[in-house]
Structure 1
């Protein structure tokens, strides 16, 4: 009895620590979008932020930082932008982000606000786990292409391509130099 209680308790702690990890996003009027990849391990938080301004210059903003959770909030610090203060707090399944003095990172205060969790998936290296992982022409994985990857192939998922769709946009270059771009089904991938 005690063994099963302890096992359930440990599973609860693991879920509580990693349940808030994932990718969050906020869309703005005019087409701008900002995404936050958040990893929570115990009281330690690390985040990567990508913002697309949706303007003629195609300006983007980037920030990477880490901090310590205090209650439900944390302050992120970065060596790349020492004046930038990024404050965040958990609000249910969302996070509230505030960007202060982050112009060096191209993240003005306009990007402050509430961000919704869109997926538990994060940027990074993934291994194809399906025998054949087909490319698709659309994020809803409805337009199957003839090209595919095989089990064991490695792909890189970048933050700006993550959204709440079933597919993730990937550009893959084979060993012979052939480049294929399209959407892969998240279900065919495993984090490495």
Structure 2
């Protein structure tokens, strides 16, 4: 026997459905945010830090050529994501350099055109695989005490640590060393001494 639903029940069902859609959408957005890597046969690699607020994308790109002279490339730009694709604009890099990023599932497809000046050649075109949910930037320590680790595992804890409220930095030229929830960061104290190592992502919060 069918039961007629009253208006309060219908409103409750609709509200629940909207909440579920919001959770699903939020999860999809969070799944896109992170840092992606593409490795080249000769040992060179490229990493893309991909952050997103609404439809606005902020991306940083670092390439390591694995050459004797230590050649590397860097690009920073913003764009609007539409149909899972965006073309970045930069105020720092060569204006002729065109960078197009496209989300394909949990991967990122990158295409560089006329970017030789910034050392982003077509060799780095293709699919990038996410290796961490973190993006480059400054992070505040949220744990009362967060220890540095020599390697990305809990058995390599060092004596050095940072305290709640301290700021550490995840740089593009070091981010490739990060792995999943372990971020390779550095901290500079008031005397100018730098300490670097792995810290758990759960102990940090990105400063935006």
TM-score by length of 1: 0.90
Alignment partner for residue 167 of structure 1, among 148, 164, 182?
182
Do structure 1's residue 36 and structure 2's residue 51 form an aligned pair? no
Displaced runs of 4 or more, over 6 A: none
> In the alignment, which residue of structure 2 is the partner of 1:99?
112
Question: Any unmatched runs of 5+ in structure 2?
Answer: 1-11
> In the alignment, which residue of structure 1 is the partner of 2:133?
120
CA distance in 2, matches of 1:160, 1:141: 24
CA distance in 2, matches of 1:178, 1:69: 40
Deviation of 1:140 (Å)? 3.3
CA distance in 2, matches of 1:171, 1:45: 25
Return 9-18 or 43-52, whichever deviates more: 9-18
Alignment partner for residue 15 of structure 1, among 19, 27, 30?
27
Return 161-170 or 16-25, whichever deviates more: 161-170
Alignment partner for residue 87 of structure 2, among 51, 63, 75?
75
Return 170-179 or 31-40, whichever deviates more: 170-179
CA distance in 2, matches of 1:156, 1:148: 14
User: Contact (CA 8 Å) 1:170, 1:183: kept in 2 or not?
Assistant: yes
RMSD of equivalent CA atoms: 1.8
User: Contact (CA 8 Å) 1:141, 1:184: kept in 2 or not?
Assistant: no
User: Contact (CA 8 Å) 2:133, 2:180: kept in 1 or not?
Assistant: no
Deviation of 1:52 (Å)? 0.7
CA distance in 2, matches of 1:5, 1:174: 49
Number of aligned residues: 192
Question: Any unmatched runs of 5+ in structure 1?
Answer: none
CA distance in 1, matches of 2:157, 2:28: 37
TM-score by length of 2: 0.84
> In the alignment, which residue of structure 2 is the partner of 1:191?
206
SS in 2 for 1:17: helix
CA distance in 1, matches of 2:72, 2:154: 27
Deviation of 1:164 (Å)? 2.4
Alignment partner for residue 110 of structure 1, among 123, 127, 144?
123
SS in 2 for 1:142: coil
